[in-house]
Each structure stands twice: as structure tokens, then as C-alpha cells.
Amino acid sequence: MVKIGDIALGDFPLLLAPMEDVSDPPFRFVCKQQGVDLMYTEFISSEGLIRDAAKSVQKLDIFEYERPIGIQIFGSEIESMVEATKIATLAKPDLIDINYGCPVKKVACKGAGAGILTNPEKMVAMTKAIVEATHLPVTVKTRLGWDEKTKNIVEVAERLQDVGIQALSIHGRTRVQLYKGEADWTLIGEVKNNPRMRIPIFGNGDIDGPEKALEYKNRFGVDGLMIGRASIGYPWVFREIKHYLNTGERLPGPSFEERLEACKIHLRKSLEWKGHNLGLIEMRRHYANYFKGLPDFKEYRTRLVQSMDAQEVDEILKEVNTQYAELTWMDS
């Protein structure tokens, strides 16, 4: 049984990676329906929380059905991160997660996210201060290092554990790599197999289906997997991986009806949580993935992403249903 503090996650948990503008409550709802074991909010700016910025505060929204769930924060100043931790703790998540992995320039080049990988001393000091600022378990998501010359994750993992984190998720790329090339899980395996490590180690990067999930589980011995991009518009990746790990059999992909229903639920939740206009805009990134493999879908997708009227979107989805309901699904 894998546990973070007192949070039991099963024998080999699957985690939803925190993704900016993706892993919001509407998306988390459809992922939870497909068996994800632990989810995180989108990353939240510590400065935004301290200033009570509306966008940052809204990201604190969590719902009972999402549990267990962690709130993820990022920032470059220790004092601000401590204050943000206290604010996030009041939202009553199950854990606090620190983002030391975001490679985006506007974050990393200000010393936050993966930017702190150039300063391990500050990284450890910040983590210690955050652990001391909350009664909740603290976890970390990070990368192998800043670049090829600074892949110091094995040492950093020990030091983070020593100051009190209770789980570590590692993305198998450096900050310089961004999301290019293939994730290198070798060092993730080294961290997991380091006899000094006592906390759960979760691997992240390039897990796109059941076969790779099983291969990496066996090769690198991690305690669970964190899945990000493969789940966008395809929350069924969680149930498919679980089924494969348990039975060795590959589940058939979701039917057209399942895809359409998930899309409609996601849309409804998006409108409820974000309001009409932003709810429609935020859904645009998901349509292509929900209906991936449908022949001649481009025209419908164009209309869906251009519409700024929820009723019109609903009508377009009804047309999609009429057009494709009898079709045997063909994944591309």
C-alpha cells in the first residue's frame, strides 16, 4: 500500500499531473470518473495568493468528490511561499505540493518552478520552511536538473526527504529540454532504488498508454505514475492502465457515446465553474482530443472552437451525435 502521510493510495497509484489551464475542477471531474487515485490543482502563484488575486484564489476551489487532492503552489521567495502555504492550508486540501518543475520561461527565469533547480540550497531551505508552515503532508514535483550538467536529482531527493517531504514526483527531463526529446527515467529509477529513500517516488514523462506504464513500472520500480498530457481529452487513460496492470489485457477504447458524454459533462462543469465565456474558451483545447480519430471532424471542431454561445455549442454536439453515432470508432 502506497501512502503519503496517512493518505492511502492503493498498491500502484496513478496521479493526474498538475497542468496550467488544464487540470481545473471540470477536467478533474472527468478524470476522477475514470479512476485516477490522486489529483492536484493547477499550479498557483504564491504572490497571487498573497495579493488575493482572483485567478489564484479561484484555483483553490476543491470539492469533496475530488479527494484525495493536493494544492500545488509555486514562487521564488521563501517568505511568500510560506504565506501561500498557510493560505492554501485553510482551503483544506489533503496535501500541499511544491512546483519545482515548471519550465515555462516566465516562471523559471524568475527563479520559480524549475528555475530553483540552479540553486539547490535555496530549494532545500524553501522546502523546509513550507513543511514547517503546515500540518498537511508536503510533496514536491520537480525535474532531473536545470540542464545536462546539473542532473543532481539523486542528491536533491535525499535532501528534500531529510527536511520532511512525504512524496516526490520526478519528470524525466531537464528544464532546458522543456518537453522535447524522450524522457530519461534512468535517474528516476536511481532515486527510487537509493536505499536512503523511504518516501514514495512517482515517475512522470511520456507515459501514454498501458504498455509503457507496465514497462516503466517494472524497469524502474517506481511507486506509481504521474500522467499529464496523455490524459488531455482522454481521461480513459487511467482506467485503461489500471485494467492492463491488473489483468494484462488491453481494454477497448471508449465508444463514441462515452466520448461524447464525457465532452458534454466537461463542458457543463466548465460553464458552471468558469462562467459562460471563459468556460467556452477553456474547453477549446479539449475538443480535438475527445473526438480524435473521427473522419472529417475538422469542420465540426472549427465551429466548436469559434462559437461563443453555449446553446450553439450544444447544437453542434447534437449534430456530431447524429453524424457519427452509428460509426465504429477508429483511432488514428
Task: Give catalytic residue positions.
Answer: 102
Looking up cell 530519461, which residue turns up? 184
Are 259 and 291 contacting, i.e. CB atoms less than 8 angstroms apart?
yes
Residue 107 C-alpha cell reads as 516562471
Which is nearest to 323 in space by CA: 235, 258, 260? 260
Residue 170 C-alpha cell reads as 520526478
Are 136 and 93 contacting, i.e. CB atoms less than 8 angstroms apart?
yes
User: Residue 77: CB partners within 8 Å, gap ≥ 6?
Assistant: 46, 47
CA-to-CA dists, residue 48 to 126, 177, 192, 247, angstroms: 18, 27, 34, 45
The percent helix, strand, coil of the chain (3-state, each to 5) is: 50, 15, 40
306 exposed, middle or buried (CB, 10 Å; 0-12, 13-18, 19+)? exposed
Give the total residue count for the chain.
332
CA-to-CA dists, residue 293 to 32, 172, 296, 297, angstroms: 24, 29, 9, 8
Secondary structure tally for the chain: helices H, strands E = 14, 11
Give the other-Cβ count within 10 Å of 284's Cβ. Answer: 13
Are 274 and 25 contacting, i.e. CB atoms less than 8 angstroms apart?
no
Looking up cell 523559471, which residue turns up? 108
